[in-house]
A and B are shown apart, each in its own frame.
Chain A
């Protein structure tokens, strides 16, 4: 148990659906992250929030929309996805996101399949 909880664990959606991924951390951290894990590719950083402000967006398509209402919760809203967006989406948190030696704590991920 890492203190970072993601729901749902699995999600199957059609290309016209709208769904949301949820992440909650119980560690008192101030920074939260979304990563995409695809087979045979490096883990891709999608979004970073520090103190609820987005500090990084790595050229992610607009069909992915993050929301960070407070330092404990992070959402990823999905709409009109493509089959190539099928992947494991991982949420992580860290103390404050400003130190290069900070340890990341990951959730178990949401396995997303887009049909």
Chain B
């Protein structure tokens, strides 16, 4: 069945460091891919998405490229800030409705 696998974490980085959080997926057909972010004490919010191969989603300095050949959707940011500390979830939406599959989440802590 459809699923996503993301790096477990936790990840701890210094401010201004480069961030990569890996996400790979298994799906039939052509899913849409998402990154959601959960800040402390809050619910998940959509960070970015890509709906077809080679699309790049971007928002708030974060980017992820839909790579069909490697079935990946890795999240990157060139220079993280303390305010980026949160849990990041990779997700995919398959061919049917109401079936958004989430990963386990990766906790990121950015220290000054």
Contact = CB atoms under 8 A, between A and B. Distances in A.
B83 interface: no
Contacts of B104: 40-42
Interface residues of A, number: 32
Contact of B95 (A91, A100, A103, A107): A100
Interface in A31-62: 31, 33, 35, 37, 40-43, 45, 48, 50, 55-56
A71 B105 CA distance: 29
B42 interface: yes
A104 interface: yes
Nearest to B3: A42
Contact of B98 (A4, A48, A108): A48
Interface of A: 2, 4, 6, 31, 33, 35, 37, 40-43, 45, 48, 50, 55-56, 90-92, 97-109
